[in-house]
Amino acid sequence: MLPSTPRVRVLETPEDRNRLPDLLPDPSLEERQRILPTLQAAADRRPGVSPAPWLQVFDRLGGSSMEAGRGAPLALRLWVEALAWAPSAARRGRLVDVELEVRDLVKALWPDGWNRGKQLPRLRDACAAINGLGWFADSEGRTEWAPVLFRRRPGVAATLNDPVLLQVQLPPVKGVGAGARFNRETLRRLGLRSAPPYRLYLGLVAEWDRLGRRGVPPTWPGFGKAERRRLIFGDDPSNRSTLRTRQADADQAFEALEALGAIALKRDPEDPRIFVPERRDLD
């Protein structure tokens, strides 16, 4: 028998519900605005535009956040959801058990309903992919641990009511803050749509958090053509055809977020080539 693990209650206090995982019945819009763990110390954030830290960490652990196909990669979406499901104790280095049901995973990945015969195997593959990711290590290299791990996951005959046990343990980071606020429903819709808008939304969430734009700022950050590409895809490729494709995809991703109501897309009055996305997802 496996030894029992330290347990932490997922719901800590009623006052924290707008910053805790979405485990409440009939969540309101306010309760869907959650907190993502920030995996990089504020003092260590480098200037310049790059993909969201959650995407970068996923890739560094051996995942692939830019797989081809409809929608964002399933394992990536489930990994980001796992980070958001964990309470604040996980961001203080504690091992946290998050007790879920299969229906919670289905709701996260297929909010409009699922085809069990077709999508249960995909769900099982996504859980297995997460369990196969690399581990974090302490600064001295003495210990390593899995930041996200499914200790109990859906089986071949799983039903929506079957239990799932997720464990999350993130390294305590000085200056980490409470995390970056985002709208869970918006992120899930974008995950179904395609990878570029999903990546863009996470990138904007990280930028808004980095700049302290949790309220209504006097000015919103603007993004030129190169910055729009790099926020979604990272460093530019040498192939010009690929570069043009990425530019078109990036511009379409900004337009998709505007159509969804997550941003109001403005242009810089002095340089209309610069997009200025004003935040609307938390309204």
DSSP letters along 210-236, please? HTT-SS--SS---B-HHHHHHHHH-SP
- Are both 158 and 50 inside the same structural domain? yes
Range of the domain at 240: 180-279
Residues 123 and 89 in one domain: yes
Q: Is 30 part of any domain?
A: no
Last residue of a domain, one of 135, 168, 201: 168
Mean pLDDT of 4-31: 32
Residue 130 has pLDDT above 60, yes or no: yes
**In a shared domain, residues 162 and 184:** no
d(CA 101, CA 89): 21
Residues 146, 54, single domain; the answer is: yes
Q: How confident is the model at residue 116 (pLDDT cuts 50, 70, 90)?
A: very high
Cβ atoms of 262 and 185 closer than 8 Å: no
Q: How far apart are CA 270 and CA 50, in angstroms?
A: 24
d(CA 183, CA 20) in angstroms, rounded, equals 12
Q: For 233-256, what is each residue's pLDDT tens digit?
A: 999 999 999 999 999 999 999 999
More confident residue, 274 or 1: 274
Q: Is residue 18 part of a domain?
A: no
Two tokens, residue 96:
């946290």
Say if 29 falls within a structural domain.
no
Q: Which of 136, 168, 200 is the last residue of a domain?
A: 168
Residue 90 pLDDT? 74
User: Alpha-carbon distance 25 to 17, whole Å?
Assistant: 12
Q: What are phi and psi of 138, to 5 degrees?
A: -75, 170
| Distant-in-sequence, close-in-space partners of 24: CB < 8 Å, separation ≥ 6 | 11, 17, 31
Residue 98 within a domain:
yes
Instruction: Please indicate, yes or no, whether residues 100 and 185 belong to a single structural domain of this protein.
Output: no
**53 inside domain:** yes
For residue range 32-86, list pLDDT tens digits in order: 344 555 555 444 444 578 888 888 888 888 898 887 778 899 999 999 999 888 8
Question: Residue 262 domain-assigned?
Answer: yes
Same domain, 212 and 164: no
**Three-class secondary structure of residue 74 per DSSP:** helix
pTM value is 0.83
User: In terms of domains, do 224 and 100 share one?
Assistant: no
- pLDDT for the residue numbered 20: 25
Residue 230 has pLDDT above 90, yes or no: yes
Alpha carbon separation from 167 to 87, 94, 98, 171, 238 (Å, rounded): 11, 10, 6, 14, 40
Pair 137, 46 in one domain: yes
Q: Tens digits of per-residue pLDDT, 165-184?
A: 999 887 766 555 667 788 88
Q: What is the mean pLDDT of residues 133-153?
A: 85
Residues 253 and 137 in one domain: no
Predicted pLDDT at 178: 66
At which of 140, 168, 196 does a domain end?
168
The whole-angstrom separation of Cα 273 and Cα 14 is 45
CA 86/CA 137 separation, integer angstroms = 20
Contacts of 240 (CB under 8 A, 6+ apart): none
Averaged pLDDT, 256-261: 96
Note whether 80 and 103 are same-domain residues: yes
Would you tell me how many other CB atoms lie within 10 Å of the CB of residue 66?
17
Number of domains in the chain: 2
Answer yes or no: is 28 within a domain: no
Computed over its alpha carbons, how large is the radius of gyration of the chain?
19
For 212, the token pair is 């302290």
Residue 113: Cβ-neighbour burial (10 angstroms; 0-12, 13-18, 19+): exposed
Among candidates 17, 14, 7, 34, which has minimal Cα distance to 188? 34
- Going through 39-106 in order, the beta strands assigned E by DSSP cover 96-101
Predicted confidence at residue 173, as pLDDT, reads 61
Same domain assignment for residues 162 and 186: no
One DSSP character per residue, 124-164 reads HHHHHHHHTS--EE-TTSS-EE-SEEEEE---TT--TTSEE
Q: Are residues 162 and 39 in the same domain?
A: yes
pLDDT for 3: 33
Residue 100 belongs to some domain of the structure: yes
CA distance 236 to 224: 14
